[in-house]
Amino acid sequence: MDSFERDTILCIEMEYADGGSLAQYLTQRVKRIDEREVLAIFHQITAAIAHMHHHHILHRDLKTANIFLTKEGQVKVGDFGISKMMSTQSVHAHTVLGTPYYISPEMCEGKEYDEKSDIWALGCILYEMACLQKTFEGSNLPALVNKIMKVRERERERERKNIRKIVIGREKDERERGERKH
């Protein structure tokens, strides 16, 4: 990666991800992704975000369209256009930014937020990979924000069941692991 300025225009060179975005990959799927693949992708995403947070950087626009894949199975987090470098004195941000499907409840309320808002977005990304649908949907922005703010226990239980399908392969008792379906 590199950057330079040409005729007062900032140019940023980035690594090419020949596998496209995670959003593209998910929309091309007709059936769910294998749980091991979901976890392999998610592990790489979380490692990248942990590295950013360690260096006091909030991404603030994590979404499947900003996660890029290579044909070799590498994951790249991109689009840092609205990311924020946090100082060691100020660990909260105030500006509401990001893509509505992935914004946290505290951002919806206009409250201060920190790296936990990126973690919220990671949860939304994991759900989307596991279920091939957005975590929250609404016909317009106020309806979407309302759904984010009023997560019902029934919806949380449905999420738990879907996420359980991802990790069921890690059960110690083989009878609890489920069967492989072809």
> Residues with catalytic annotation?
61
Residue entry with tokens 């059936």: 31
Contact assessment for residue 29 and residue 78, using Cβ atoms and an 8 Å cutoff:
no
58 Cβ neighbours under 8 A, 6+ residues apart: 52, 83, 84, 86, 93, 114, 115, 117, 118
Strands (E), 21-133: 57-58, 67-69, 75-77, 84-85
